[in-house]
Amino acid sequence: MLDYGSTIEPCLKREYVIVVGAEDYYDRPGNKMMFMAHAVRYVRIYGSRFDITTVLYFRGGPGVHTDRQVAALTASVRKYKGTARSVRSWRDVASHINTRTVNGCQKRVQVLIFFAHGQPGRIWLSADEGIFLTAGDLGRVDAGSFTPKRDRNSRYTFRHVTSWACQTGNAGQRGSAEQNLKNSLAQKMADFWDIQARASITRTTYAGTWAGWRPWDRNTDRRNIDNAVWEDDGADGSVESGSGSDQGNMPTGMYLLNPGQRSGYRTEDLD
């Protein structure tokens, strides 16, 4: 029997979700597993700050990612106490995010990350299969599936969605950077999900994946998996906001887009 005046605090599990798009655009050794490598790097660096860490990866169509490549990703994520799961559609991703109980506790997503190709208005989840994330898909995720704004996790206090896909902060329109930001997929994410989104107007660069090493260089920490460079500890360096956009002249930087924001956007150094 409980002592008089005692209370039972409901348990809340905070989840870190990383969505990995299939690499079906570049077939070069250094590119083939780069999205997977950055997912592992983020699990290694940040995963311990959350109660649950999940990597949801798109394998792509036949021959895009081999069994050995997927096994390497899964083993590395598991090494750093995360779980890697294959998904085939945005509906699968949304279903995972919207699942609000686990092992008898409430579960909410605190941080959502995307590593994938992109262009104004869509993130490429599995382009060869015609699977993209667009504004019309955002409603599948319930805003209530993210941690409440008042929630403060002592290990990781800020809730957000970050897309490292190219031009997620770009609407692809003529006009100013501000106009493109306010009409972008990233701003729609912020509005639909009531959470800060972080994205680039310009193309992002994954040049730091292997810290400048060419695929043919020798490195004791690296190996070749079915003609793809891999390292069990993941990527060496961060993705960055680079140069170039559909308009050709948009400013670089990772922008912070808040729910309902339409002006006054600012950038922040992110990793």
Closest CA to 245 of 204, 203, 196: 203
Report the DSSP beta bridge partners of residue 113.
Answer: 18, 162
**C-alpha–C-alpha distance, residues 269 and 271, integer Å:** 7
In-domain check, residue 246? yes
Model pTM?
0.94
Q: How many domains does the chain fold into?
A: 1
> What ranges in 80-160 are assigned the alpha helix state H?
90-98
In-domain check, residue 5? no
Give per-residue pLDDT as tens, 210-253.
986 555 555 567 899 999 999 999 999 999 999 999 999 999 99
In-domain check, residue 6? no
Three-state SS at 41: helix
Give per-residue pLDDT as tens, 92-135.
999 999 999 999 999 999 999 999 999 999 999 999 999 999 99
In-domain check, residue 183? yes
In-domain check, residue 3? no
- What is the structure's pLDDT at 1? 44
Q: What are 4's two structure tokens?
A: 């008089």
Reported confidence tier of residue 9, pLDDT bands at 50, 70, 90? low
Average pLDDT, the chain: 93
In-domain check, residue 89? yes
Residue 244 burial (CB < 10 Å; 0-12/13-18/19+)? Answer: middle
- What is the structure's pLDDT at 211? 81
- The β-bridge relationship of strands 105-115 and 12-20 is parallel
Name the percent of the chain in helix, strand, coil, to the closest 5. Answer: 25, 25, 50
In-domain check, residue 122? yes
In-domain check, residue 259? yes
Domain that includes residue 141, residue range? 12-267
